[in-house]
Chains A and B, each alone.
Chain A
Amino acid sequence: MAESVCRSLRDGALEGELAPDLTIKDSLSSPFGFNVFSHILVQLSSHIVAGKSQSRGMVIVSLSRSPSSYTGLLKMNGVDVESSKKWIHILDCYTDPLGWKDKTRKSGDIMDPSNQILSSYKTVKDVNKLFSVICDLGRGLVGENKSRFCVAIDSLSELLRHSSMQSVASLLSNLRSHDQISSIFGLLHSDLHEERALAAVEYTSSIVASVDPFHHSVDGQGSYIRNSSEPNLTKGKLNIRSKRRNGRVRVTCEEFKVGPSGISFAPVSAVDGAAVAGLIPKVQFNLQLSEKELVDRSRVVLPFEHQGNGKPIQIYDGRRSLEESNNETTPISGGKKEESGRGEIIYFRDSDDEMPDSDEDPDDDLDI
C-alpha cells in the first residue's frame, strides 16, 4: 500500500540499522513515477511539520525538476515551507548542474543569501562531494545531536547519467548507513538503464515501488501507449516490494489514478482480479465432463467394434464385396485365428489402458 510505504519512511530507521530506502521505478509505458514521488514527498513533509515522523528535516536533491516546483507543490498542499523553524532544504542540481551558466553570469555562490532553503550545486558529476553537501545541509537543519533528517533524490536516472553505477550505488549505501539519516526515497526510470544498473539500485533499496501500466501492452518495448482508443492513460498499477526487518519480502499491488487534483490509490479491483485468474476462455459450451458423462463415455461401443445387429465383429478388408464376405467372415476376438490364409485384424482397444485426456506424454517411454 502506498500508505504502508509512507509509514515505513515516516518511522525511519532503528538504532544501528540501515535507513529504509524507497526506489520508485517507472517507464515510458506508464510515466507516472513523478506523481508517486511527489505524493510521498507531500505526505512525508506533512508528517515532519506535524512532528509525527522520526525525521525532523528533509533535504531534496532536485535534478530533473526546478526547486520552485517543489516549493510550489508543498504550498499547494498546505505544507508550510517558510516556517520559522527551518525544516527543509533544496539542493538545486537542476538549474546549473555543470556550471555552464557561471560563464555568463556571476552566480558562483553556493549559498544564495536571499533564499534560506535553496542552495545551488554545480558539480553534479562529483558524487562524493554531493554526499558531503547533503550531509552538511541535513546537519544544518536538525543539528549535530541524535536528530535525523530524510533525503529525497529527484532523479536517480540523472545521477546515473552523470556518474557511474558504482558511485551512485555507493552514494545510496553511504546515505543509508549515515546515523543521522532517517529515510531516503528516489525516482528511477527503468527503461533508461541497463539491467545491472537497475539491479544495483534495487539491491540497495529496502522498498521498490514499480509503476506499471494498467494493462500490459503487447509491445514489449518501453513505448508510450500509441493507441488513442486506450482509455486508461491516466491509470496504472503500483507494485510494491518491501524487505522487512525479519528478512521476509512482502509484495503488494495497488491501482492508482492521476488527475488534476493529484494521484489517488485504491486496492486492485475485484473484477480485474477475476479476469486475470480465469484463464479458461468463456465460451458457450462446457468443456469439462461430469462423473455421469465419464461413466457413459466408457460404456460407448465404438463403431468399428460392433456390427449393429448383435453378430460378432466383422471387418471389411476391401478385397471382396460385403455379401461374399458375410459367408466367410472370421469372428474377431482376442484369441487366435481359426483358419490360416485369410487376413485377420485383431483389435485391442488401447484406450482402455489409460484415462482419456491423460497428461502422460506418449514419448516418455522413448529410450534414445
Chain B
Amino acid sequence: MEHQGLNLMDQALGFHSNMTQQPWPLCGRFVLVEDCVDTSGAFVLHHILKRSFTSRPSSAVIFLAFAHPINHYDRVLRKLGCNLSSQRDNGRFFFLDMLMLQCPVEGKPKHDGLATVFEKIERAISELHPENKKFVTVVIDDISCLEVAANGSSNDVLDFLHYCYTLTSENGYALVALNHQDIYSDGERPAFMLEIEYLADILVKVDPLATGLAKDVHGQVMVLNKETQKQQGISSIKVQNFHFKIKENNIEYFYPGTRT
C-alpha cells in the first residue's frame, strides 16, 4: 500500500487517501479525457492506469490500444513506477492490441467489426481470476483511432461505446477513454463529441494555456465531475481547474498562480 499524498488530479477524480477502505471511486463510471494536438492528455490515462494497480490489490485493467504498441506504455509506466509486464503476468493487465484492426467494409454487415471487439473484451473479462473481477477498468486509447478502424462510422463507434458503458452500469466496472476534441470541435460533426460527453460521468479536459507555451506550466486541466444519483439523474456538477507540468518520473498538478 503506497501512502502517497493525494494530488489535485486524484482529488478531482474522487480518490480518497485511504483507498483500500473506500470503494473505488471510478466504479460504474465513465471517465472521458479530451485533449488536443497542442497538449496531449495521455498522461491522465497513465495516471489512472497506475492508480488502478496501486490502490487495490484485486483489480484488473483491460486495455484496448488503437494508438500505440505495448512497449510504449511499458516504458511510460515504468518511469511512473509501475511494471506492466509483471501485472500482465499476474493476470491483472490484459492488453488488446488493436493497432492493425480494420473493420470489414464489403460483404459483412458493418457493425460486425466492432461487435467482435466487444466480444474480445467480454472474453478477456471472463478469463479474469474471480478475485480480480471486482474492480475492472476498461481503457480505450483512443476513440479517434477507433473511428478510423471502424472506417469512419461514428455511429458504430457510439454503439460500441454504449456497449462498453453497459459494462459499467451492469457490473460496476470503470470505463476510461481518450478522445481528441480538436478533430471534432469545428468539423461538421460536433454532435459526435457531444454524444460522448453526455455519456461521460467525469470529463477531464486538457488544454494548452491561453497565453501559449511555457516552460514551467505545460497546460491546464478542467475536471468536471457529475455526481449522479443513478436513478434520478445528476445531483450536482463539480468543476475543478488546475495546471500541470509533466516531469521525467511524475506529473505535478497545482493551482494556477501557485508556481513560484
Residues of chain A whose beta carbon lies under 8 Å from any beta carbon of chain B: 28, 31-35, 37-39, 65-66, 69-70, 72-73, 76, 94-98, 100-101, 103-104, 157, 161-162, 189, 191-193, 221-222, 224-228, 230, 233-234, 258-260, 262-263
Whether A226 contacts B111 by the Cβ 8 Å rule is no
Whether B234 contacts A34 by the Cβ 8 Å rule is yes
Q: Select A38's contact among B115, B159, B162, B232, beta carbons within 8 Å.
A: B232
CB neighbours (8 Å) of A100 from chain B are 111, 115, 118-119, 163
Contact of B155 with A by CB under 8 A:
yes
Whether A225 contacts B234 by the Cβ 8 Å rule is no
Q: Which residue of A is nearest B195, CB measured?
A: A192
Q: Which residue of A is nearest B230, CB measured?
A: A69
Binds A, one of B68-76, B91-99, B235-243: B235-243
Whether A103 contacts B115 by the Cβ 8 Å rule is yes
State the CA gap A263–B236 with chains docked (Å). Answer: 11
On chain B, the number of residues with a Cβ less than 8 Å from chain A's Cβ atoms is 37
- Could you list some 15 contacts between A and B, CB below 8 A? A35-B233, A39-B232, A66-B169, A69-B231, A76-B232, A96-B166, A100-B118, A103-B115, A157-B195, A189-B198, A193-B191, A226-B239, A228-B240, A233-B237, A233-B238
CB neighbours (8 Å) of B148 from chain A are none
B166 to chain A, nearest CB (A): 6
Whether B197 contacts A28 by the Cβ 8 Å rule is yes
Whether B235 contacts A103 by the Cβ 8 Å rule is no
CB neighbours (8 Å) of B190 from chain A are 221
Whether B122 contacts A258 by the Cβ 8 Å rule is no
State the CA gap A190–B162 with chains docked (Å). Answer: 19
B226 to chain A, nearest CB (A): 8
State the CA gap A228–B256 with chains docked (Å). Answer: 13
Known: A66-B166, A228-B240. A192 touches B194 (CB 8 A): yes
Contact of B89 with A by CB under 8 A:
no
Interface residues of B in 221-260 (CB under 8 A from A): 222, 224, 226, 229-241
Whether A233 contacts B236 by the Cβ 8 Å rule is yes
B84 to chain A, nearest CB (A): 27
Q: Select A260's contact among B169, B235, B238, beta carbons within 8 Å.
A: B235
